[in-house]
Amino acid sequence: MVCREITQTGTRLNKHVCMTRADWSLADETSAPFAGAAGNIDRRQCSDPDPRSAITGCSHIIDEKDNPETFAALQNRGLAYLRLGDDDRAIADYTAALQSPARTINARGYANRGFAYARKGDVNRALADYDQAVMMDPNLSLARQGRAAIHVRRGEDALALGDLDAVIRLAPKDAGAHVGRGAVRARLGQLESAIADYSEAISLDPSDAQSWLGRAFAEQSGGDRAKAKADARRAIQLDGTSAQAHQLLAVILQQSGDSREAKAEADKAMQLDPDNAQAIKARADAALAAGDRDGAIADYGRAIELDPTLVSAFNNRGVAYMGKTDWDHAITDFGAALALDPSQASTWLNRGLTHQSKGEPDAALADFAQAIRLDPANTEALRERAFLEQANRRFGDAAADYGRVIAVNPKDAEALRGRGFAELSLHSYDAAIADLTAAIALNPKDARAYGFRAIAHAARNEDKLALADDDTSHRLDPTLQHR
């Protein structure tokens, strides 16, 4: 019996990389021009890069009645508020500029207000402003970047990809846009293209740790652990404060069988970010791999407290409970994981194995069936279901399930022996002998295969062959009795 752990965390983390390297919607830093003479102190101050100074100068202009430069002052003060992180006042100024009699607010004004809405979490208003900005100026990169970030937040990766494609066409050397597109492509499962984007970002800016980290995630998701490990280490060299980089390296090391170093990296991630549920789970995975089930259970529990939606923590804690033969707690955790994500075939398999170990064959069969519906080539679920079907004397169903296993792997000696036994029970002696002979060719020390074939030969009155197989079976395992 083999329990399935879920250790893949790339999807969740790639989303974070996407949103941290480029929450791509950056405000435009260009102040609005004034029509009057440049010598006026308020005008100069209103265009000052220092936001507090700009607010003072712009406010003097805005407070004057019927000042024709109020529109420019509102835009500049809105930008100053954005720089200070005062999104409500920024939105108010950009809205006032839009409603002013001049009403000449341009695409950049909409993009900047969209940025403020996005930072406040008002994604619908942000998207409306970015849409307006792109409509007014399709080549405004900051508006397309901002809209791409909103699409990512809404789970609209294909739309985000379209905007990022446009940004890169406009600015092929924009490393941040390549990082953003790489993250979106990784989320869409386009791993080779994602790696290409991250590689381009690295060539443009080799010192950017997030580019190396993003590529490491994509490589790990694609199964190239050696490259992923190297890139994660490079990300850590460039930014030793990245909890995500240490966490990813912990996952890669644990998957590579180095549970000790994996735990050390997870510890570093937790020191940098004590409330990082994924880092705590990574340490739990390392503890489970090292056989420390109690330590793993404690860490999974902490991770779940911090993130009750962490499906893999529930699943893997269930695996730890299975190792302790604590069937009830294991079943509870697998059930919690399935309530959050019923699409995980491995979790249905785990719960089925637990029911089977607890002596609940009907519940086990139901879970194996669901695992097979989700993953028709899941040979372990097929094999376990066939075993229970044989126990229930449903030999035809068992033979069919073993056949599906053999279709996936024609050299599966255990499945060939299992189907041979089912065929023997159905009195299909020729088919049984053929399968059992194939099983013996793959595993000449399989005493049970010889024993079953002896019975088939005897049923066909092939006494010499039957006796020879029975003797071989008894010699290989004297505890077996077929005579």
Write down the pLDDT at residue 4.
Answer: 40
Give the pLDDT of residue 13: 30
Q: What's the 3-state SS for the chain?
A: CCCCCCCCCHHHHHHHHHHHHCCCCCCCCCCCCCCCCCCCHHHHHHCCCCHHHHHHHHHHHHHCCCCCCHHHHHHHHHHHHHHHCCHHHHHHHHHHHHHCCCCCCCHHHHHHHHHHHHHHCCHHHHHHHHHHHHHHCCCCHHHHHHHHHHHHHCCCHHHHHHHHHHHHHHCCCCHHHHHHHHHHHHHCCCHHHHHHHHHHHHHHCCCCHHHHHHHHHHHHHCCCHHHHHHHHHHHHHHCCCCHHHHHHHHHHHHHCCCHHHHHHHHHHHHHHCCCCHHHHHHHHHHHHHCCCHHHHHHHHHHHHHHCCCCHHHHHHHHHHHHHCCCHHHHHHHHHHHHHHCCCCHHHHHHHHHHHHHHCCHHHHHHHHHHHHHHCCCCHHHHHHHHHHHHHCCCHHHHHHHHHHHHHHCCCCHHHHHHHHHHHHHCCCHHHHHHHHHHHHHHCCCCHHHHHHHHHHHHHCCCHHHHHHHHHHHHHHCCCCCCC
Given a cut of 70, is residue 2 above it in pLDDT? no
- Are the beta carbons of 218 and 186 closer than 8 angstroms? yes
Q: Is pLDDT of 18 > 70?
A: no
Q: Which of 352, 351, 364 is nearest to 392 (CA)?
A: 364
58 pLDDT above the threshold of 70: yes
Rounded to whole angstroms, the Cα distance separating 374 from 303 reads 27
pLDDT given for residue 30 in this prediction: 57
Tokens of 46: 């209103």
Stated pTM of the model: 0.73
Note the pLDDT tens digit of each residue in 218-265. 999 999 999 999 999 999 999 999 999 999 999 999 888 898 999 999
pLDDT tens-digit map of 424-467: 999 999 999 999 999 999 999 999 999 999 999 999 999 999 99
Q: From CA 252, how far away is CA 76, in angstroms rounded?
A: 48
pLDDT digit string (tens) for 352-376? 999 999 999 999 999 999 999 999 9
pLDDT value at position 66? 76
> What is the tens place of the pLDDT at every residue in 101-137?
665 667 888 999 999 999 999 999 999 999 999 999 9
pLDDT of residue 403 exceeding 60: yes
| Separation of alpha carbons 61 and 189, rounded Å | 53
For 293-317, the pLDDT digits (tens) are 999 999 999 999 999 999 999 999 9
Contacts of 161-168 spanning 24+ positions with Cβ under 8 A? 161/185, 161/188, 166/138, 167/141
pLDDT band for position 481 (50/70/90)?
low
Per-residue pLDDT, averaged over 310-325, amounts to 97
> What SS3 class is residue 37?
coil
pLDDT of 440 reads 97
**pLDDT at site 37:** 43
| 458, 429 Cβ separation under 8 angstroms | no
Average pLDDT, the chain: 89
| Averaged pLDDT, 86-102 | 88
Please report, as a single letter, which amino acid is at residue 38.
A
pLDDT for the residue 84? 94
What helix, strand, coil percent values describe the chain, rounded to 5?
A: 75, 0, 25
What are the φ/ψ torsions at residue 395 (nearest 5 degrees)? -70, -30
Q: Can you say whether the dihedral through the CA atoms of 427, 431, 437, 441 is positive or negative?
A: negative
Q: Has residue 20 got a pLDDT over 80?
A: no
Question: Looking at the predicted structure, is the pLDDT value of residue 407 above 50?
Answer: yes
Predicted pLDDT at 41: 74
Q: What is the pLDDT of residue 387?
A: 96
Predicted confidence at residue 100, as pLDDT, reads: 74
For residues 469 and 454, give the distance between their C-alpha atoms in angstroms, rounded to a whole number: 5
- pLDDT exceeds cutoff 80 at 423: yes
Query: Is 93:74 a contact under the CB 8 Å cutoff?
Result: yes
Q: Given a cut of 90, is residue 98 above it in pLDDT? A: no
- 216 band by pLDDT with thresholds 50, 70 and 90: very high
